[in-house]
Structure 1
């Protein structure tokens, strides 16, 4: 009798796992089908080179908007740096767009040096990209799939676990 109950429990557990796996796969497919294409842009980086969002097609992109004077932005920088270092040689790219219209160039340089930032920092000097992406609250982060589709928009400071969970969801 105990073996029969155990067998039924194992079968029921297997059915639950299968149902959740199918539901998760359908949710991922639905997210991709409903995703909006991210608008391309080209911005100057701190090193004077330029980068376009389209340069990163084929990779998942974490597109983070921030400013030097923003306390939640300061709080998330160590998490962004750790995430970048852990994923530097993967198919995920972190791009930090500084809303330079509200920062001076020396503020940005001092911030990057002071926090030891090694990930790409793009400069939205005139604020057009921030407006294009409707960034009202900072930090705001967009998660893009390999085709450049916006999969998720996250408002507020991120940590590594949240970034990994969002990236794993698509």
Structure 2
């Protein structure tokens, strides 16, 4: 083999060796980055396919409450007993969230009206007023004020239940973000919310509530 042939063969071998090295390097890099590519692809698919309606832990919204399962809760009552909403499955339940002791006389009147109206003391119905005041405050009010003997008052002192029902920033609240206002829920025997009312006028709504409750028997 002459000198030119030898050099040509040498160059060809060097090119072949260089190409093999590049292939091995590319393959190595591919194997390194493959998991990253797969993870990124999975994230993109998850984002594309994300649907809020399919998320089981969606935040409860007052505006979209009708037809939703009522958030369960356990609260202490004025009589010292613990009331758990889920224990009332099989009964219709009225909840009245309000500003409590500071809301005189409107909230006081509605709380007393629910307690004294025999229509809300039926076997298949329970009505509760929920306040964020300390229990001791209402023990004094009940003791000194006629008309509260039959009122079912529950104490949401941490405001956890009021937040769960999204009632702290509605139009009826005179202290938005801090206190409920004048808000009603009707929950059917299966624990589903069938009626809501946020009432800035703060009127006594017994008749309206009874009218809405009567519709549950027609479902």
Instruction: Give the structure 2 partner of residue 108 of structure 1.
Output: 138
Aligned partners of 1:74, 1:129: CA distance in 2, in Å?
20
Mapping of residues 1-170 of structure 1, within 5 Å:
35-66=67-98, 67-71=100-104, 72-83=106-117, 85-100=118-133, 104-113=134-143, 114=145, 115-136=147-168, 137=173, 138-156=181-199, 157=202, 158-170=204-216
Contact residue 82 and residue 160 of structure 1 kept, 8 A:
no
CA 1:48–1:75: 2 relative to 1, 3 Å: closer
Change (3 A) 1:57 1:132: same
Number of corresponding residues: 133
Q: Alpha carbons of 1:153 and 1:105: their partners in 2 closer, same or farther (altered >3 Å)? A: same
Q: For the residues of structure 2 that align with 1:50 and 1:124, how far apart are their CA atoms?
A: 12
Say which structure, 1 or 2, has more relative contact order (CA 8 Å, 6+ apart).
Answer: 1
Shift of 1:168: 1.5
Query: Aligned equivalents of 1:54 and 1:63: distance in 2?
Result: 13
TM-score between both structures, scaled by the size of structure 2 = 0.55
Measured after TM superposition, the shift of residue 47 of structure 1 is 2.3
TM-score (norm 1): 0.70
Q: Which stretch shows the higher mean deviation, 111-120 or 131-140?
A: 111-120
Partner of 1:30: none
Cα 1:144–1:160 change in 2 (3 A) is: same
> Equivalent residue of 1:54, what SS?
helix
Compared CA separation, residues 77 and 43, structure 1 to 2 (3 A): closer
- Moved >6 Å (runs of 4+): none
Unaligned ranges ≥5, structure 1: 1-33
In the alignment, the residues of structure 1 paired with residue 139 and residue 189 of structure 2 have an alpha-carbon distance, to the nearest angstrom, of 30
Structure 2's unaligned 5+ residue stretches are 1-65, 174-180
Supply the distance in 2 between the matched residues of 1:96 and 1:133 (Cα, whole angstroms): 14
- More strand as a share of residues: 1
Determine if contact 2:115/2:152 at 8 Å carries over to the other structure: no
Summarize deviations over 1:58-104 as a string: whole Å, max 9, x none: 00000111211113312323421233x3332331110111122xxx4
Secondary structure of 1:161 counterpart: helix
